[in-house]
Structure 1
Amino acid sequence: MYETVQFIHSYWAYLVLTVLIIASINAIVGYVSNKEYGATNFRIALFTLIASHIQLLIGIVLYFVSPYFRAFSEVGMGGVMKDSVLRLYNVEHPLIMIIAVVLITMGYSKHKGKLTSKPKFKLLAIFYTIALVLMLSRIPWNAWF
């Protein structure tokens, strides 16, 4: 089961990163160029929200079926924090990704309350770009390539 969930989580991450990059660029370009916020912009933001939440759910399942999770009972929290690989997979990656998904959710929710295009794009640009930077900072790159 672990291998299957890990496979899905790894490849869904490509989709999440792609749509998050597209959504961030779309929001920045929309804000800078004073574009009108339309249905396409809404769909891009919504699809990014949905894809990131699905990735979070897959990640939560993976977290608890992962062999890295057993390290908490084997070496304890102190041992996990001393080992950089265990710390990345058990603490840093999950925590930062949860924060990133929360930022995506906040940006999406806040932008819906704005009535004009410029503030909508601004909120999406800020929240989605910060989430993107956070995600890029804690991806286990050695496992991807």
Structure 2
Amino acid sequence: MYTFLKYLHSGLRYAVLLLVVAAIIGALLGWIGKKTYTEGNRKLNLFAFISAHTQLLVGLILYFISPLVQFSGATMKDATARYWTVEHITMMIIAIALITVGYLRSKKVLVPEKKHFNIFIFYLLAVIIVIVTLILSGRGVLGMSV
């Protein structure tokens, strides 16, 4: 089960990244171009939101079954154990929280430009956090070392 979930979590990152980046681009174009907030915008933002939360759910399951996560006094002294036990999960939860806030705020406002603006800012901040966190892992953004 661990191996399956690890590969699922690894593969889902591409779908999440693609959907969130597409939502950011759509929101930027909608915000700058003062475009209406279409049903297509809503669906793209929702799919990005759902994919990010699915990734979080798989990640949380992995967190509790992974051999890389260690709950001991030595965790903070070992860079790899600290990264997987503390840093990765903390930053990813913050990123998902930003996506959630952006999506929910965009649903509440009535002005289309503000809907686009909320998605753009919050999803962009989330992607920046994810990229920085993945670079810190030493594995790079797409699983390749930088």
Shorter-chain TM-score above 0.5: yes
- 1:142 equivalent in alignment to 2:126: no
* Counterpart residue number, 1:3: 3
In the TM superposition, what are the counterparts of 1:115-134 in structure 2 within 5 Å? 115-134=110-129
Displacement of 1:82 after TM fit?
A: 2.1
Given residue 80 of structure 1, which amino acid in structure 2 is its aligned partner? Answer: T
In the TM superposition, what are the counterparts of 1:30-41 in structure 2 within 5 Å? 30-41=30-41
- 1:89 equivalent in alignment to 2:84: yes
Distance change >3 Å, CA 141–CA 18, structure 1 → 2: farther
In 2, distance between residues paired with 1:88 and 1:120? 35
The two structures, once aligned, show a CA RMSD in angstroms of 1.3
Displacement of 1:66 after TM fit?
A: 0.2
Where structure 1 has 5 or more consecutive residues not aligned to the other structure, the ranges are none
Displacement of 1:36 after TM fit?
A: 1.1
In 2, distance between residues paired with 1:26 and 1:90? 34
SS of 1:142 mapped into structure 2? coil
4+ long deviations beyond 6 Å: none
In 2, distance between residues paired with 1:141 and 1:35? 40
Where structure 2 has 5 or more consecutive residues not aligned to the other structure, the ranges are none
Q: Relative contact order (C-alpha < 8 Å, sep 6+): which is higher? A: 1
